[in-house]
Structure 1
Amino acid sequence: MEIKIGVQSVHRELVVETDLTVEEIEAEIRNALAADRGVFSITDVKGNRVIVPVAALGFIEIGEGASRSVGFGGTL
C-alpha cells in the first residue's frame, strides 16, 4: 500500500510503501489524532520508520502502489 504524507511547510510529500492494510493505516491515523501531541508513525516495507507530529500533518493519501511495467515500451 502506498501512502503519501503532506507535511506543513514542506514542499515535497513523503511517499511510503507499507505492507499494512487500509484499515490498519486508518487506525494508526485515528490513534495519532486522538492523542494529545500525537505522532503519526508508519513502517515501510524495508523496515524504516517515518514519524510525523500530528500538528505538522497537511494530508495523508492512501492508495494502491503503482505497478511498474518492465520493458522497452516499443512495439516489435
Structure 2
Amino acid sequence: MSTRMTVNGVNTCQTAGTEKYETFSFSHRPRKTYVQYDYRDVDGTLFSTVRPTLEECRDKRDEWLRAKGKEVKE
C-alpha cells in the first residue's frame, strides 16, 4: 500500500497537536473502506488507529486522550 502518511517508513505527522488521515480499501468482496488515522499529541506521543470512519477514529483518539488525563474539546 502506498501512503502519504509515511516517507521512507517515517510517520509524517510530526507537528504537535495535528492529525493526518487517509482512506484505503481492501480488494475483498464486499469492498470495505477504512480510515488510517494518526494524531500527534502536544506532548509528542503518537496515536494511530484504523477504523471504518473518521468519526470512529476521532472517538478512539478522544478516549486515548482522556485515559492520559487530558481534556477533550467536544
The alignment's TM-score, normalised by the length of structure 2, stands at 0.29
Provide the TM-score with structure 1 as the length reference: 0.28
